[in-house]
Amino acid sequence: MARVIACADQPALELGEVVQGLNDSGFDPADEDSFAAVAPLLKGLAGNRHFLADIALAELKDRCGRQSLENRYSPQVIMLHRASEKYFIRANFWPSPRDSLFRTSGASPFFYHVPHDHNFSFLTVGYVGPGYWSEYYEYDFAAVTGIPGEKVDLRFIEKSRLEEGKVMLYRAHKDVHNQLPADQLSVSINVMHASPALPFLDQYRFDVGKCEIAGILTRTSSEALLALAANHGGDNGRDLAETFAASHPSERIRFAALRELAAAAPDVDSGLEILGRGRSAASAFIAAMSDRESARVVAGRAWIER
Ligand SMILES: [Fe+2]
């Protein structure tokens, strides 16, 4: 399961002191031990019982101006600090089924009942309330190709919750959790790994009953824009999609480019020919995804050609 970091009680810290500590400590969020070593800073922040309410009040007085600029998440999240390429700090609110927010919005905005891993590591601490529940699993990222429907050796570890003061390190591409509602409204605080590379690293949704990858959660605007480039960008757009298909560092983007070039082809057979390039690619991911897409196109041929 996500690594529980045993932390002795710490003196309460201000947010600025935590930021200074992270900036001064040679902190490397890509390194598991370095991430674990800064756990006492987060534990100290959790001991500060006023800072979050102070920030919430200041944001409300400022019409949440800073949140509008820096927060790309839903209102479930308050962005606390984002000044570094390496990391950011946020607070997350976890409603219980009894809260009106949950009753009106349902479970899905809070990612409850959606088993997933993360394409980034993060350190978290329970700040308020009994904490959200999770069923924890682990898997071997290196052993999977990343295809929806692929079997995964998911190992169930335990069910537990993120209680007040408990510090945990969720390790990228290793820890999986099926997050379940908190029994009462709870708040956690996270130090998140930030890197421009993260959008190109895959995060999966799992079917823990079938022990399968259920889908790839990571999406970038590049994938949507490739569809526009291939279909409506003329020769220049298709050239760009061809370049992405041939040489983009992300397998997911290379496949997306091929898929959109195939979709923009004048007829089904030309499209299947383009996907055939993917089926013989050296990348196991591109080969399997191209195979899957070819099967989907063939199955829908009668409808496409109507
Ligand atoms: Fe998660």
Q: How many other CB atoms are found less than 10 A from the CB of residue 239?
A: 12
Q: How far is the CA of 293 from the centre of ligand 1 (A)?
A: 29
- Tell me how far apart the terminal alpha carbons of the chain are, to the nearest angstrom: 51
Residues 171, 138: Cα–Cα separation, whole Å: 10
Q: How far is the CA of 217 from the centre of ligand 1 (A)?
A: 12
Q: Percent of the chain, pLDDT > 90?
A: 79
Residue 61's pLDDT is 84
Per-chain mean pLDDT for the chain: 93
Residue 1 predicted with pLDDT over 70: no
Q: How many other CB atoms are found less than 10 A from the CB of residue 91?
A: 20
One-letter amino acid of 24: D
- The residues facing 168 across adjacent strands are 4, 124
Residue 83's pLDDT is 75
The alpha-helical segments, DSSP class H, found in the chain are 15-24, 32-37, 39-46, 51-61, 65-70, 100-105, 221-232, 234-247, 251-264, 268-279, 284-299, 301-304
Task: Please provide residue 136's backbone torsions phi and psi, each rounded to the nearest 5 degrees.
Answer: -100, 140
Residues 34, 27: Cα–Cα separation, whole Å: 6
The residue among 61, 64, 58 whose CA lies nearest residue 77 is: 64
pLDDT tens digits along 103-122: 998 898 899 999 999 999 99
51 class by beta-carbon count within 10 Å (0-12 exposed, 13-18 middle, 19+ buried): buried
Q: How far is the CA of 229 from the centre of ligand 1 (A)?
A: 33
Q: How far is the CA of 121 from the centre of ligand 1 (A)?
A: 10
pLDDT tens digits along 19-78: 999 998 789 999 999 999 999 999 999 999 999 999 988 888 877 777 677 777 667 889
Q: Among 6-15, 118-127, 129-138, where is mean pLDDT lowest? A: 6-15
Residue 180's pLDDT is 97
Q: How far is the CA of 282 from the centre of ligand 1 (A)?
A: 32
Q: How far is the CA of 152 from the centre of ligand 1 (A)?
A: 18
Q: How far is the CA of 175 from the centre of ligand 1 (A)?
A: 9
Q: What's the mean pLDDT in 66-93?
A: 83
Q: How far is the CA of 67 from the centre of ligand 1 (A)?
A: 21
